[in-house]
């Protein structure tokens, strides 16, 4: 797996993407963008761009674990993908790149906390920090937090309990929201954010507050029923009145077809010179994911056609099945990319869209399904569970039918398509919430539809949801159409899956406080109750 993720090293960022103990003199390096000669406001767009690139890496990793995609050829050196036998050399970019990004945000925080005119920048950096920390915790559990990101002041920070970090992240969001609310409209003494500095929301502070609410809700929903359940229930009453961001949060620093294409396209389609990427030439969808489009679980010709190049042609194979997978893979990706190949590929609808499209860091469908699950658990924050369930399905169609210009393509009708989908599957509680007769069935419906909406876009969230809910359902020792589990799994668990990642070897080499994790099959995350 280490080789696999090396191809996902995206762009040269202002910071060196390494963990907190490296580059110890970070604030004294005149050649680093996080050096003392750089203004914090110049670091923000690059920090957000790095966050988007990391989201793509986490998406690719999650896709392999939940059945969205699988290698279509036998490939040497990838045994930990097939066996889940993760080691301290597996998936290291999930740790290294996020900590590198956290250094960017911490630089901004450190250099703005005593500058009243830069309070907005400080608050936004705190939100970016929380977004990344949650992702890190969900992959590894305990992480350096209270003593982290201090450079040479502390080269061996302690690892804080994951549940404690979760609570601190909520408090960090509340503090950031308070700062934003107190300074909206304070243009006389506060340096404003704009499209150049804020490549996510263009300086719209209300959207930043709503985005923070979204992240907070994700944290609370994930931690429900865990050891911090009392904290979670209390925190539900503290959401900011601005509500939630009910649109796709897209980072776009100016991606274009000439030289600065978005990293998602570069991984799944081709390079800036038009050469097909490695993923494009050998990754295919699994049989399992097709059952949600082409039966027997659900039928969904519209989204199937929008996502897959050759839909409804059935893919072959299961993760770990090297022998029976096809030797010939469609050139330039199995995912729909319009017409043409290489540099002549047209912009299209679906997952990839085009070289100039932005990178989603939070889907509208995701927040609707989070609101549905919160309502199911007695916290109706914005509508009831069924209303948000239906809106989540609609938001999934809206995203896929959005073009490279980030508007619904002419001739597309997401509302009609979502309605037709639910009508076609009216007898199935996975699509018709009213037919779910128990709380478990309702939860299964919400998480299953969230899984479908996250397909190859928001894959890591699907992996986290599966670990805590065991949905969508899979069959133990099932076939390629009933489970996404690798047939080469070495997991001793009943579900034959991993539950976590292993800390990188560099952490063990440099920080004696790094927890010893012997394998990926034990020591589940605190919110993993299965």
Q: What is the pLDDT of residues 43-81, one digit of tens each?
A: 999 999 999 999 999 999 999 999 999 887 655 556 888
Q: Which residues pair with 283 in a beta bridge?
A: 71
What does the alpha-carbon distance between residue 417 and residue 411 come to, in Å, rounded to a whole number?
A: 12
Residue 439 structure tokens: 């709380």
Nearest to 396 by CA among 513, 306, 529: 306
Whether residue 34 is predicted with pLDDT greater than 50 in this model: the reply is: no
Q: In sequence order, what are the residues at sequence separation of 6 or more whose Cβ sits closer than 8 angstroms to the Cβ of residue 366?
A: 214, 218, 392, 450, 453, 454, 458, 461
Q: Which residues contact 438 (CB under 8 A, 6 or more apart)?
A: none
pLDDT at 35: 41
- Rg for the chain (alpha carbons), in Å? 22
pLDDT at 325 > cutoff 70: no
pLDDT score for 148: 97
Return the closest-CA partner of residue 261 out of 434, 515, 10: 10
In tens, the pLDDT along 234-287 reads 999 999 999 999 999 999 999 998 889 999 999 999 999 999 998 888 888 999
Q: Judge residue 57's burial from the number of C-beta atoms within 10 Å of its C-beta, 0-12 exposed, 13-18 middle, 19 or more buried.
A: buried
Residues 343-361, mean pLDDT to the nearest whole number: 95
What is the dihedral sign for C-alpha 317, 67, 407, 299? Answer: positive
Residues 221 and 374 sit within 8 Å (Cβ to Cβ): yes
Q: DSSP class of residue 361?
A: E
Domain ranges of the chain: 2-257+358-510
- Residue 299's SS3 state is strand
Residue with tokens 């979760």: 166
Point out which residues pair with 159 in neighbouring strands: 144
Please classify residue 340 by burial: count the beta carbons closer than 10 Å to its beta carbon, then call 0-12 exposed, 13-18 middle and 19+ buried.
exposed
Residue 24 has pLDDT above 50, yes or no: no
Contact 70, 318 (CB under 8 A): yes
First to last CA, the chain: 26
Cβ contact 313:323 at 8 Å = no
Q: What is the CATH number of domain 2-257+358-510?
A: 1.25.40.390
Q: Answer for the pair 442, 433: CB distance below 8 angstroms, yes or no.
A: yes
- What does the alpha-carbon distance between residue 81 and residue 489 come to, in Å, rounded to a whole number? 9
* CA gap 486, 230 in Å, rounded: 37
Residue ranges of alpha helices (H) inside 184-276 are 205-223, 229-235, 263-268
Residue 188 banded pLDDT, cuts 50, 70, 90 = confident
Using the predicted structure, report yes or no on whether residue 507 has a pLDDT greater than 70.
yes
For residues 52 and 251, is the Cβ–Cβ distance under 8 A?
A: yes
The three-point CA angle 525-461-59 to 5° equals 115
Residue 8 token pair: 């996902």
Write down the pLDDT at residue 10: 33
- Residues 343-360 have a mean pLDDT of 95
- Which residues pair with residue 402 across a beta bridge? 408
DSSP assigned state of 24: T
**What number is the average pLDDT over the span 203-222?**
98
Per-residue confidence (pLDDT) for residue 38, from 0 to 100: 59
- CA separation for the pair 363, 393 (Å, rounded): 12
CB atoms within 10 A of CB 438: 9
**Rounded alpha-carbon distances, angstroms, from residue 326 to 70, 72, 318, 356:** 12, 6, 11, 31
Average pLDDT, the chain: 90
The residue among 297, 230, 446 whose CA lies nearest residue 438 is 446
* Helix (H) and strand (E) counts in the chain: 18, 6
Instruction: Give the model's pLDDT for residue 330.
Output: 63
Q: What is the rounded average pLDDT of the residues 450-457?
A: 98
- Strands of 267-349, DSSP E: 283-284
Token digits for 493?
């668990």
């Amino acid at each position: 797996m280490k080789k696999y993720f090396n191809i996902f090293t995206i762009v040269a960022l202002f910071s060196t993407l390494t963990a907190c103990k490296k580059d110890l003199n970070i604030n004294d390096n005149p050649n680093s963008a996080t050096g003392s000669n750089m203004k914090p406001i110049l670091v923000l767009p690059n920090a957000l761009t790095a966050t988007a690139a990391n989201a793509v890496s986490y998406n690719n990793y999650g896709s392999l674990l939940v059945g969205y995609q699988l290698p279509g050829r036998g490939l040497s050196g990838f045994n930990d993908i097939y066996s889940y036998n993760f080691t301290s050399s597996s998936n290291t970019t999930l740790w290294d790149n996020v900590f590198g990004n956290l250094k960017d945000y911490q630089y901004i925080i450190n250099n703005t906390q005593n500058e009243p005119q830069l309070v907005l920048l400080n608050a936004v950096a705190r939100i970016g920090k929380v977004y990344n920390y949650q992702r890190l915790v969900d992959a590894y559990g305990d992480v350096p937090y209270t003593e982290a990101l201090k450079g040479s002041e502390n080269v061996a920070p302690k690892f804080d309990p994951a549940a404690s970090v979760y609570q601190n992240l909520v408090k960090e969001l509340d503090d950031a929201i308070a700062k934003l609310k107190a300074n909206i409209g304070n243009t006389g003494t506060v340096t404003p954010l704009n499209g150049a500095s804020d490549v996510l929301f263009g300086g719209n502070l209300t959207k930043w507050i709503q985005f923070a609410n979204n992240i907070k809700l994700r944290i609370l929903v994930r931690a429900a029923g865990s050891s911090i359940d009392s904290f979670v229930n209390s925190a539900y009453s503290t959401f900011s009145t601005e509500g939630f961001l009910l649109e796709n949060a897209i980072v776009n620093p100016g991606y274009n077809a000439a030289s600065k294409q978005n990293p998602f396209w570069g991984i799944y389609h081709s390079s800036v010179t038009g050469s097909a990427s490695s993923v494009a030439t050998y990754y295919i969808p699994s049989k399992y994911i097709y059952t949600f489009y082409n039966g027997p679980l659900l039928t969904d010709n519209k989204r199937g056609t929008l996502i897959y190049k050759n839909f409804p042609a059935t893919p072959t194979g299961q993760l770990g099945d090297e022998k029976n997978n096809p030797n010939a893979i469609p050139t330039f990706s199995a995912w729909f990319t319009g017409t043409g190949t290489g540099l002549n590929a047209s912009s299209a609808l679906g997952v990839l869209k085009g070289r100039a499209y932005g990178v989603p860091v939070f889907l509208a469908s995701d927040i609707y399904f989070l609101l549905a699950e919160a309502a199911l658990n007695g916290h109706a924050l914005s509508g009831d569970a069924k209303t948000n369930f239906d809106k989540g399905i609609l938001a999934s169609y809206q995203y896929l039918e959005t073009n490279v210009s980030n508007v619904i393509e002419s001739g597309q009708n997401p509302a009609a398509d979502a309605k037709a989908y639910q009508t076609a599957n009216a007898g199935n509680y996975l699509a018709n919430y009213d037919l779910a007769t128990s709380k478990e069935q309702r939860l299964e419906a919400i998480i299953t539809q969230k899984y479908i909406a996250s397909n190859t876009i928001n894959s890591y969230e699907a992996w986290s949801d599966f670990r805590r809910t065991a949905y969508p359902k899979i069959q133990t020792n099932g076939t390629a159409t009933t489970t996404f589990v690798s047939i080469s799994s070495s997991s001793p668990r009943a579900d034959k899956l991993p539950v976590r990642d292993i800390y990188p070897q560099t952490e063990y080499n440099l920080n004696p406080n790094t927890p010893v994790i012997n394998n990926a099959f034990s020591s589940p995350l605190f919110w993993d109750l299965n």
